[in-house]
Structure 1
């Protein structure tokens, strides 16, 4: 009786061994195809609304404001009030939607991308099927990071173009330094989204529970927004504008500090209810304080891009740091490149 030949394992460099990990990685990506489709639909719908806002809706609102400005002092004339109100509402809600994108990214990363797979054991199964933990995490993050970058950047760009279209034409258009305009129309929101993706991934890996990771990701993203909101005015040197006591503090932009200047150059706070010396009682109080003028430290419109780039750089550094920390935690929590958690 002859012994049947044994099945030999393919050589390490054989095509079959190279194709198997690629198939498994594609399988990992297919697990989150619904979320990627939802993100694509969300970005497309938001982009369509912003194009409408910056085009026909801005034109209609600008025409309505022209009609309103042409009215006599009595206001007894007709103008399209609905176009003005619709522009105001759509502008506000689209900007707020752009600002919430980082929250959605972080929630998905913590709850679904990582937390649910560790909780259900899907990640452990993948690691036992020839996909190393490092490659598994790289595959999980690569495509989402690219889609988050492209989608958020597109939304921010269209939001800025829509705001620019109404600048000087629509009286209710927000100023450049408003929260909705500044933070939803530049690279800062893209950097926050990437930092939120990294934070959600790390929390999903640490907590290994989808609900806990979701809550933690929301808190982490809120902390990122709060931190950059408080730090941003101090990331670039300010401009100081001095104005008369009768004029009051002046200078349009992101305010940092304001107060009174004495004859000796000392800075004092502004007394309550005394914004100028027009009020005789305030003028007498200024005399007693030896105040000679008002000052205001602020960021003018020319500081828009320096502030955006510096803040974005800091947030991207945070995202890189969180990503590096995530991979280090993953290596410490896996027994080897094949097995599950240590």
Structure 2
């Protein structure tokens, strides 16, 4: 493995303190900081708009619609209903994109660019050890990413909640996009994207390669968490009559089907209620006596969110340790020493 040369630091007569290092990082990444602040402000304002005026207008339109169902001609504000639905989707997608935006920026600029053009080695000559350089590189953006993404997630959860019970087309808590954008999983994924970008920057020392690597890592981790989420907490099983058209119980479904007279489980034939003559024949042939549904109710929302978040943060911590170990191997284990002036 190629070792990065760590020049001996020159004597400057004073040591570089943590505040000056933070200021240097903020100046270096000022454009990204301004873009991040603008993104949080704009999306936050849109979420306030969605959860406030748009939700109120849509709720009023649905009230008009439900009040005149029995009337032959009904006048209601369809534009308000559609506008709320569209902007809720747009803001949800934007919040879900935050971890990928952080990963792309981190992979393209956080460590790879400075290693690629040699400014990292220059920083190590200014009384800044490689480990301290990387710690600052991760700590300062981590605070900003946590605060910004946490604010957006909190505002999204509020915007979603204002439509519950008022807007007929409001998304359920277990909708895939809503579930992720409403909780701490998205904040943890943003931190994972940040660290994965720094890690790949140390591995590749090439902006484009580390950008691709960080995006792939973030996407892979989120896909794994998405598949694993239904299995991270004990489920609830609900048995219901075949007189219903579908199994009872709403939430994150793990499996559903029909139970036979012996208690065996069979996949749901997707027929409908037993009151239908054709379905009655199907259920009789299967010896089905009831529906079953293995699922997570709404009370499992936070246990699932927090368990998923803990797993993501554990992976993030492992990537952080791996990044420091990789940097140590490439720069040497001996710390740089100051030259004493004559």
TM-score normalised per structure 1: 0.90
Q: Contact 2:238–2:248 at 8 Å: present in 1 too?
A: yes
CA contact 1:249–1:275 (8 Å) conserved in 2: no
1:77-92 alignment runs, 5 A limit = 77-92=74-89
Match for residue 241 of structure 2? Answer: 244
Question: CA–CA distance in 2 between the matches of 1:194 and 1:149?
Answer: 7
| Equivalent in 173, 176, 179 of residue 173 of structure 2 | 176
Match of 2:33 among 23, 27, 36: 36
Counterpart CA distance in 2 for 1:49 and 1:315 is 28
Q: Which residue of 2 aligns with 1:269?
A: 267
Residues 154 and 75 of structure 1: CA distance in aligned 2, closer, same or farther (over 3 Å): farther
Q: Which moved more, 1:290-299 or 1:27-36?
A: 27-36
Question: Aligned partners of 1:58, 1:70: CA distance in 2, in Å?
Answer: 18
Unaligned stretches of 5+ in structure 1? 1-8
- The verdict on how the C-alpha distance between 1:183 and 1:22 changes in structure 2, with shifts beyond 3 A counting, is closer
Q: Give the C-alpha shift of residue 197 in structure 1.
A: 1.0
1:97 to 94, 115, 118: 94
Q: TM-score, normalised by structure 2?
A: 0.90
Q: CA RMSD in A?
A: 2.0
Residue aligning to 1:142: 139
> Pick from 219, 222, 225: which aligns with 1:225?
222
Matched, 1:188 2:185: yes
**Contiguous gaps of at least 5 residues in structure 2:** 1-9, 338-342
Compute the displacement of 1:78 (Å).
2.3
Deviates more, 1:108-117 or 1:96-105: 108-117
Aligned partner of 1:260 among 248, 258, 267 = 258
The higher relative CO (CA closer than 8 Å, separation ≥ 6) is in 2
SS of 1:293 mapped into structure 2? strand
1:281 counterpart SS class: helix
Asked if the contact 2:26/2:33 (under 8 Å) is kept, the reply is no
Q: Which residue of 1 aligns with 2:319?
A: 322
Are 2:21 and 2:136, in contact at CA under 8 Å, matched by a contact in 1? Answer: no
Structure 1 residues 24 and 182: alpha-carbon distance in aligned structure 2, compared to 1, 3 A threshold: closer
CA separation in 1, counterparts of 2:25 and 2:89? 38
Whole-angstrom CA distance in 2 between matches of 1:67 and 1:36: 45
Match of 1:55 among 49, 52, 57: 52
Equivalents in 1 of 2:212, 2:92: separation in Å?
23
Q: How many residues are aligned here?
A: 326
- CA distance in structure 1 between the partners assigned to 2:252 and 2:69 by the alignment: 35
Residues 39-74 of structure 1: per-residue CA shift (max 9 Å, x gap): 011001111111111111111111111112222435
State the partner residue of 1:308: 305
Q: CA deviation at 1:20?
A: 6.6
Moved more, 133-142 or 123-132: 123-132
